[in-house]
């Protein structure tokens, strides 16, 4: 009914006139308190001790017959105990009753009431309720005390759910864990045994055959004895729990004598079908053709009972355990039962090694029971093909976080798309493929994932890695304790590492990653990536691949650094992004920011790389605090940033500037400036000659000023809120985010954590690549929604398409920003630190490559905005008007170069290095580059000469 319906309006007016529920009668107050919408303080006490009074006492209870208009938090409940609306106050309370209530509520209950007396009274009232229920066949006095009696029974007895099932599993779990004889667990397990003793069904149904009820003597039901239906797996699990305590452990009472155990076995032996499998409630009684008479449209397979691997496994494991302690009872029948059941279990196994579970979701659940059954009869990984296939199935389905979650859609899709694959014995060496094309070994070592328009020979040389492939395959074949030959290798090369997808004979897939020289400093790059992966798996719920084997020592058998890890589960986000609804995209963004919030919450002690403590014995390291890493397994060590060159680190040069770890922002910034000074001093030549780079003296002066500025960052009021050392994945694009194939908004793995560092939050927090605003410099941060241009309706179709695309990307960027605000306040704050601080570190770190202009532009902006940027005192450097004018002229040339580079990269669909995908014709792109330059020369007629355009053109022609 609508809120403004006339009936609702009248009802509200009456409630307001009566001053709300605080003036309701006592029974109403009681039920409102039961529902939790008002405090119990408003209810006058009715102590059960009154029922302990002698019957001759005149006040003995056996003689009796018997929402709000202000904010909830502001109500003084005690004050309203005796307030009743005049219209309901038919029989006002006497002064004597009010006095008794006051005494009971304020004196007797809080100060004088003995606990033993209260317990006696509550027990007696409980018994009175049971007698009332029995005497009236549970009708009671209808609405008066029926719901009250029901409430008492619920509080006393608890809900009727699946108590026997849970109790049996809990008892088994504690017993199998070896804790059954631990004095701390014995009282709990004893009570569990007593519960199972009480809940065993001791006789068959009355008129069992006439009522078509299955044999049940000795059984346990799903919930409790009163339910009355025995279930094969419930009976079996309860029997195992009883045997584990009464026979396998010491010090437990023998509550179920042998005959009662035999009753259980007798019942279990009635559940097996001709197939060897067991059903759930009863053995199969008819043909499956009866399903044609099924009138229930929403259920299938309900007309008769069917075999289930879970039920069969439970019965077989229970009977196997039973035979250990009673080897002679119905021995022949039981052994035959077990053999037929094992044969059924093996037949029920699917080609991929799994079992289909019907009573849980689904393949993982069924496989758990299937393997337990085979294990109980002596089969294992070494002697059973079925066990091997089952184990390999489970291992192949382990999630990135170490668990085995499974959605209910997956079994449906798997059954619809199931394929039988023939088994072929592999006797040859593994085959190598790239993009479904067979390749030779040498191509595994070379860079084959594209070509470069700029400095191609050097680019390819830095990405060439030779290694011992046979040694790598041998190492991979033995990982995770599963010796299985590598049968195929697919090259999935990245920009900084060789990435090989390796297929094992047992079906398992692995990723082998070998860093190139361009990836970063030798040793540190591999050790840091392993440290990050291990830390995330151990101390967060962020899903990343499991490292199976690795080495940072190039003298190993592989002759190269390597990491072998599990293949990420799921599908890459770019494969499904176009199919996702807007709602699913928003859900994924929310999930992403929730996971990132875990990173913001970790308080690292310093800036640098994250390493395994025992593996880092070079340079300096700082251990993590115990509250982050209780086992002392990790530490902060040197930076593995790609801007640090292996040749420099292996020399004595780093001692001049340091490569980390750093305890403060100032120390980090100063080391970067000193590194650039060191490089310039050693004659490093910039790679870009298209604009002014500055003399050595200008470099030195500018970097000295930068060092003086860096010294002041630790006391900056703005940076102090966003400088905490933070681990962050700064290259999140759709290719390194994996999502569930069934639930695209659920992230199941992140990959490519090479080069991930612990740095100040304001240098880390950012939009993921695929969520960045199309024009970040025009994007308005804060809670302001992006808008289409005011003249959108006047635009032509192409312009509308471009504007709509920018708007949609802006909306996704805004969704990420808002989600970050809701889930990850520290990152949101860091993203809103003035851009110039991030620019300062970036421009300082590229001075030796890009020259003085970008850094000087940054320092001039800081000089002009000194106090607005949170600094106190005077700026440690200054610029004259003439110096600024000269800089602006030089910087205009840099901006021209930058603009031309951006145009060329966009038109040629490449990056600063001129990388061209192998899918595109390299010679065609070279020709397009020449054509594009000619077009730009024509466009610049009257503004720049052809020579000036060629001088700033980013790609050689």
Catalytic residues: 233
Tally Cβ neighbours within 10 Å of residue 862.
20
- Secondary structure E strands in 729-834: 737-739, 747-750, 758-760
* Cβ atoms within 10 Å of 928's Cβ, excluding its own: 15
Q: Could you give the C-alpha distances from 867 to 262, 584, 664, 843, in angstroms and in order?
A: 87, 44, 22, 21
Residues in contact with 246: Cβ distance below 8 Å, sequence separation at least 6, in sequence order: 193, 252, 253, 254, 255, 256
How many CA atoms, within 13 angstroms, populate the side-chain half-sphere of residue 430?
Answer: 26
Q: Determine which helix (DSSP H) or strand (DSSP E) holds 800, and give its type and residue range.
A: helix 797-823
Under DSSP, the state recorded for 381 is T
* Residue 309 · residue 355 · CB < 8 Å: yes
Closest to 136 (Cα-Cα) out of 144, 127, 146, 126: 146
775/761 Cα distance (integer angstroms): 23
Question: How many CB atoms sit inside 10 A of residue 687's CB?
Answer: 11
* 428 Cβ contact list (under 8 Å, min separation 6): none
Cβ 167 vs Cβ 192: under 8 Å = yes
**Rounded Cα distance, 161 and 168, in Å:** 14
The dihedral built from the CA positions of residue 523, 524, 528 and 531, taken in this order, carries a sign that is positive
Helix or strand (DSSP H, E) at 395: helix 385-396
Phi, psi angle pair for 882, to nearest 5°: -65, -45
Are 912 and 495 in contact by the 8 Å Cβ rule? The answer is: no
Q: How many CB atoms lie within 10 A of CB 189?
A: 23
Of 377, 400, 402, nearest in space to 387 by CA: 377
The residue with tokens 């039981």 is: 334
Nearest to 199 by CA among 173, 231, 177: 231
DSSP string, 585-649: HHHHHHHHHHHHHHHHT---SSBBEEEEGGG--SS--EEPPTTT-TT--EEEE----TTS-HHHH
- For residue 787 the two structure tokens come to 């808008």
3-state helix, strand, coil split of the chain in percent (to 5) is 50, 10, 45
235: exposed, middle or buried (Cβ count in 10 Å: 0-12, 13-18, 19+): buried
* Rounded-to-integer distance, Cα 148 and Cα 142, Å: 10
486 bridge partner residues: 504
Phi then psi for residue 571, to 5 deg, are -125, 150
In the block, tokens 């390999």 appear at 392
Dihedral pair phi/psi, residue 514, rounded to 5°: -120, 115
Kindly report the backbone phi and psi dihedral angles of residue 758, in degrees, each rounded to the nearest multiple of 5, phi listed first: -100, 115
Give dist(CA 199, CA 237) in Å, integer: 13
The string of DSSP letters for 839-874 reads HHHHHHHTHHHH-SHHHHHHHHHHHHTTGGGT--S-
Contact (CB, 8 A) for 947 and 685 = no
Phi, psi of 256 (to 5 degrees): -100, 110
């Amino acid at each position: 009914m609508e809120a403004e319906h006339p009936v609702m309006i009248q009802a509200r007016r009456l409630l307001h006139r009566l001053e709300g529920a605080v003036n309701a009668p006592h029974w109403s107050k009681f039920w409102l308190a039961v529902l939790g919408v008002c405090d119990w303080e408003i209810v006058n006490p009715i102590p059960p001790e009154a029922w302990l009074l002698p019957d001759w006492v005149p006040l003995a209870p056996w003689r009796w017959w018997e929402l709000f208009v202000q904010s909830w938090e502001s109500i003084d409940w005690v004050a309203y105990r005796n307030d009743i609306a005049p219209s309901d106050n038919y029989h006002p309370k006497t002064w004597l009753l009010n006095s008794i209530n006051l005494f009971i509520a304020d004196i007797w209950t809080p100060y004088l009431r003995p606990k033993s007396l209260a317990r006696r009274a509550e027990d007696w009232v409980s018994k009175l309720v049971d007698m009332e229920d029995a005497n009236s066949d549970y009708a009671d006095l209808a609405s008066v005390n029926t719901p009250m009696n029901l409430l008492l029974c619920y509080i006393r007895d608890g809900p009727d759910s699946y108590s026997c099932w849970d109790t049996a599993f809990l008892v088994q779990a504690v017993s199998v864990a070896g804790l059954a004889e631990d004095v701390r667990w014995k009282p709990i397990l004893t009570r569990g045994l007593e519960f199972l003793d009480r809940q065993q069904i001791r006789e068959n149904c009355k008129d069992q055959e006439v009522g078509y009820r299955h044999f049940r003597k000795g059984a346990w039901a799903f919930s409790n004895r009163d339910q009355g239906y025995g279930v094969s797996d419930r009976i079996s699990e309860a029997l195992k729990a009883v045997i584990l305590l009464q026979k396998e452990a010491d010090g437990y009472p023998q509550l179920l004598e042998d005959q009662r155990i035999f009753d259980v076995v007798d019942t279990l032996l009635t559940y097996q079908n001709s197939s060897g499998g067991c059903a759930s409630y009863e053995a199969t009684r008819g043909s499956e053709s009866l399903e044609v008479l099924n009138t229930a449209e929403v259920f299938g397979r309900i007309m008769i009972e069917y075999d289930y691997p879970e039920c069969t496994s439970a019965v077989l494991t229970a009977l196997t355990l039973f035979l250990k302690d009673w080897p002679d009872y119905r021995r022949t029948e039981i052994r035959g039962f077990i053999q037929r059941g094992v044969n059924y279990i093996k037949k029920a196994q699917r080609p991929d090694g799994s079992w289909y579970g019907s009573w849980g979701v689904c393949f993982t659940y069924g496989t758990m029971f299937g393997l337990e059954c085979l294990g109980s009869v002596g089969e294992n990984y070494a002697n059973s093909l079925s066990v091997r296939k089952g184990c390999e199935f489970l291992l192949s389905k382990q999630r990135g976080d170490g668990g085995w979650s499974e959605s209910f859609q997956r079994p449906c899709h798997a059954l619809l798309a199931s394929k039988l694959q023939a088994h072929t014995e592999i006797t040859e060496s593994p085959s190598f493929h790239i993009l479904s094309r067979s390749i030779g070994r040498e191509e595994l070592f070379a860079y084959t994932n594209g070509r470069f328009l700029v400095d191609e020979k050097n680019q390819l040389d830095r990405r060439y890695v030779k290694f011992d492939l046979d040694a790598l395959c041998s190492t991979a074949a033995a990982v995770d304790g599963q010796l299985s030959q590598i049968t195929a290798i697919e090259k999935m090369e990245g920009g900084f590492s060789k990435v090989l997808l390796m297929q094992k004979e047992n079906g398992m897939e692995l990723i082998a990653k070998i860093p190139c020289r361009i990836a970063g400093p030798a040793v540190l790059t591999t050790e840091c990536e392993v440290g990050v992966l291990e830390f995330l798996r151990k101390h967060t719920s962020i899903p990343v691949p499991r490292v199976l084997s690795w080495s940072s020592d190039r003298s190993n058998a592989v002759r190269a650094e390597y990491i072998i890890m599990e293949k990420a589960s799921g599908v890459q986000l770019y494969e499904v992004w176009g199919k996702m609804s807007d709602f699913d995209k928003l859900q994924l963004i929310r999930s992403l920011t929730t996971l990132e919030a875990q990173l913001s919450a970790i308080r690292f002690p310093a800036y640098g790389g994250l390493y395994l403590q025992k593996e880092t014995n070079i340079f300096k390291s700082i251990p993590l605090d115990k509250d982050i890493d209780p086992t002392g397994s990790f530490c902060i060590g040197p930076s593995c940033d790609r801007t640090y060159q292996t040749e420099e680190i292996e020399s004595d040069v780093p001692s001049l500037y340091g490569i980390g770890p750093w305890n403060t922002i100032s120390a980090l910034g100063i080391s970067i400036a000193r590194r650039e000074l060191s490089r310039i001093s050693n004659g490093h030549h910039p790679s870009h000659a298209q604009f002014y780079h500055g003399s050595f003296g200008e470099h030195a002066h500018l970097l000295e000023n930068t060092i003086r500025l860096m010294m002041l960052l630790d006391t900056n009021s703005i940076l102090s809120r966003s400088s905490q050392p933070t681990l962050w994945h700064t290259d999140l694009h759709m290719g390194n985010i994996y999502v569930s194939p069934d639930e695209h908004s659920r992230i199941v793995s992140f990959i490519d954590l090479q080069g991930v560092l612990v740095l100040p939050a304001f240098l880390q927090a950012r939009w993921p690549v695929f969520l960045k605003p199309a024009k970040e410099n025009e994007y308005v941060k804060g809670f302001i929604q992006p808008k289409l241009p005011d003249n959108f309706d006047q635009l032509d179709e192409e312009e509308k398409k471009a504007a709509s695309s920018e708007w949609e990307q802006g909306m996704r960027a805004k969704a990420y920003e808002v989600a970050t605000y809701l889930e990850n306040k520290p990152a949101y704050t860091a993203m809103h630190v003035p851009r110039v601080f991030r620019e300062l570190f970036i421009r300082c770190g590229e001075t030796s490559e890009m020259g003085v202009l970008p850094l000087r532009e940054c320092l001039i902006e800081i000089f002009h905005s000194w106090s607005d940027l949170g600094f106190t005192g005077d700026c440690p450097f200054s610029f004259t008007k003439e110096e600024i004018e000269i800089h602006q002229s030089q910087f205009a040339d840099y901006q021209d170069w930058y603009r031309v580079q951006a145009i060329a990269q966009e038109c040629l669909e490449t990056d600063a290095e001129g990388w061209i995908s192998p899918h595109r014709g390299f010679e065609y792109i070279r020709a397009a580059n020449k054509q594009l330059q000619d077009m730009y020369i024509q466009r610049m007629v009257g503004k720049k000469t052809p020579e000036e355009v060629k001088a700033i053109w980013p790609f050689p022609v």
